[in-house]
Structure 1
Amino acid sequence: MRPHPTPLDGDFLELDLPAELAQLERERTETGAIQTAKTLVKYPSLRVVLIAIGAGGRIPEHQTAGRITIQTMVGRIRTHADGRVFDMPVGRVLALDQSVRHELEAIVDSAVVLTIAWPQEDTASDVTGPS
């Protein structure tokens, strides 16, 4: 696992998503992994994670104590949440409330930006897994 660059928090963070995604895709290809992820922003009550998932890859059903958004940057994702299926081509954003169980499936090689906003009283809990 790669070390996180410092800082992941601060008064200002400027991110180059295409460069970050290119790095993740290189790692995924080199290691043969179906999925790679990198935390880009890490404040006590907010996380931003970039996730690259190969075609057919899945993030199994899970939930988080915070509200989340999932934004498709590359490819096409199918998200299952609360008995519904959301088709998510590039540019689509899905917001889920606290504790909604969900899973992601990459229809083709894909990448998403996951944002997690925890309630102030539960900032230490991250059930989603990627870091």
Structure 2
Amino acid sequence: MTNDAENQRLRPHPDIRFAQPPVPVDLHALATSLRAEPNSGERGHRQETIFKHGHVTVALFVFDQFSHLPEHIAQGVVTMHVLKGWMKISAGTVEHELKAGQMLVLNSGVRHALKAEEESEVLVSVHLVS
């Protein structure tokens, strides 16, 4: 990259942006903390955003048994990694059953919904398209 291009950069160089030390996240402790909250919300789940930067968001969802997220669309690639429990995830016209240790990846714009068949924890990442 030339000096002119470097001077016109819209945000700090990646070497600077990612120079911060890594931040470990204890997902088990976070899930325990979310479950301890007095209310689980209207649809029976709680969530906390762990990381949000640019086009990337990572969140932990904790579901009560039979709770759900209604059908919706994300304008980006979505990953759903089941850490605990059993989830039914409808994506388009297909229903996927995922248990702990399994992950589903959806392309941008895929209509999807989630339902917990038992108490569950899901790590979700969304990589928005610009």
The alignment's TM-score, normalised by the length of structure 2, stands at: 0.80
| Structure 2 portions without partners, runs of 5+ | 1-16
CA contact (8 A) 2:61 2:121 kept: yes
| Structure 1 portions without partners, runs of 5+ | 1-8, 122-131
> Counterpart of 1:80?
90
Whole-angstrom CA distance in 2 between matches of 1:72 and 1:24: 16
Render the CA deviation track for 1:76-128: whole Å, top value 9, x for unaligned.
00000110010000001000000100000000011100000112x2xxxxxxx
Say whether residues 1:111 and 2:121 are aligned partners.
yes
Alignment of 1:1-131 (within 5 A): 11=20, 12-27=22-37, 30-33=38-41, 34-119=44-129, 121=130
* Offset at residue 32 of structure 1 (A): 4.8
Secondary structure in 2 matching 1:31: coil
Moved segments of 4+, more than 6 Å: none
Which amino acid in the other structure matches residue 89 of structure 2?
T
Whole-angstrom CA distance in 1 between matches of 2:106 and 2:40: 31
Alignment coverage as a number of residue pairs: 110
Render the CA deviation track for 1:17-50: whole Å, top value 9, x for unaligned.
11111111111xx225311000001111111000
CA contact (8 A) 2:40 2:46 kept: no
Which structure: larger Rg?
Answer: 2
The 1:32/1:44 distance shift into structure 2, 3 A limit, reads closer
Percent of paired sites with the same residue: 24
Which amino acid in the other structure matches residue 39 of structure 2?
T
C-alpha RMSD of matched pairs (Å) = 1.4
Secondary structure in 2 matching 1:100: coil
